[in-house]
Amino acid sequence: MSDEPTMDGDDPSSSRSSRSPARSWRRRRPGFTLGDLEVKAGRSAIGEVPIPRLVTGTPVSLPLRVVHGRHDGPTMLVSSAIHGDELGGVEIVRRVTESLVPADLHGTVILVPIVNVHGFLTGDRYLPDRRDLNRSFPGSATGSLASRIAHVFMDQLVTRCDVGIDLHTGSDHRTNLPQIRAELDDPTTHDLATAFGAPVLLQAKLRDGSLRAAGLAAGVTMLLYEGGEALRFDEPAITAGVDGIRRVAHHLDMTPDAEPPPLPRDDQGRPRTPILSRRSAWVRARRSGVTSMAADLGDRVDKGDLLAVVHDSLGHRLSRARAPFDGVVIGRRQHPLVHQGDAVVHVAQIEPPTSHAEPDAEPDAAHDAESDDRPDGRADHPDDRSVAPDPASTNDPTSPTDPSPTQIQDPR
């Protein structure tokens, strides 16, 4: 198929008024080229971007699909599995791909279901060199394995885009309520985050080396989606992710002819307003033992509400964890066994719709440790720190066997 101008008619010199729409000039949109892959307007194609080989010498590539719309419009990147054990985004990408019609699309969508191929092959969050790929951007052509992969991804994909949506799940037996992490003080980003329709929007400070930080530095509007848990397909989180991406595409006028998924409704049948948060905290186990959870994802909690109880194997209560402030549960541990200091429940403080965060609320602190700095105190995340427990979180201040939980702020 030629990319030259085409005409449905024989006489290009005839007046516009004498021609029917079918006989007018139509200039075909240029194709999209990515390495050796060439995609014509109104088409979809599968390709790959080579990255460093396995130790066996086996070639490795980032799999991708380019959906190049017939009509002009923005370019959007959807990526997942930057942590190799976070599988939910792979299914989200598959379903989003099925929903796109190249002939009707305005713009281009680049879909990369697996960014950390090495970790994906082994079900590991990290790369073989134990580096976190989401701490390695924008990368270097001569750096570590993680840095080289990050460089290729940035150079060949991210910089080609106007909007990026990075998909994540919880890790290490933790699950997350569907939520968007973004620079919400930027009006364009705030509009896209709101259009996504996730239950919670978190103002998230940028972390050095993250894809989101590198994308923003390159002029790309970035959203980070969290939902579900690692090594599992969580259907509500997958559905929320698919619907959110489709809403963003519609908001960008990329799919003007398609009806966007309806926004979630409240009990009165009204569109649910996303919860805005600028601060969050993981509540940690103060004693090792077996956890009984008292709060679930999406639960509204008041300061001091019971979140979890830790017992020993004989049923003796060792400690209770309580909410550090009024908020909503956006993450929780799935594994019932905990060691002292393990993250148990993640609470996001709810910001009043018409007010701004107080100066002491650390407005840049809210983010999810699963995506950026895990709440497990790993040495590769030096900013993971504990803060003094809130007095209201103390279950029984007179009982030495029932201390208050330690809370960790989540600096991004």
pLDDT of residue 25: 52
pLDDT along the chain (412 residues), means of 10: 40 44 65 95 97 95 98 98 98 98 98 98 95 97 97 98 98 95 96 97 94 98 98 97 98 95 87 93 97 97 98 96 97 97 97 49 37 45 32 32 41 34
pLDDT of residue 372: 47
Structural domains of the chain in order of their starting residue, each with its CATH number:
37-251 (3.40.630.10), 278-354+361-409 (2.40.50.100)
For residue 393, CA distances in Å to 177, 252, 321, 386, 396 come to 22, 44, 7, 15, 9
pLDDT of residue 194: 96
pLDDT of residue 353: 60
For residue 146, CA distances in Å to 84, 139, 153, 349 come to 12, 8, 11, 34
Which amino acid, 261?
A: P
- What sign has the CA pseudo-torsion 387, 390, 395, 398? positive
Q: What is the pTM of this model?
A: 0.82
Cβ-in-10-Å burial (0-12, 13-18, 19+) of 126 comes to: buried
Give the residue from 19, 46, 21 showing the smallest Cα distance to 35: 46
Give the residue from 140, 142, 100, 93 showing the smallest Cα distance to 115: 93
pLDDT of residue 267: 81
Rounded CA separation 176/86 (Å): 12
Rounded CA separation 370/374 (Å): 5
The partner residues of 164 in beta bridges, in order of sequence, read: 77, 222
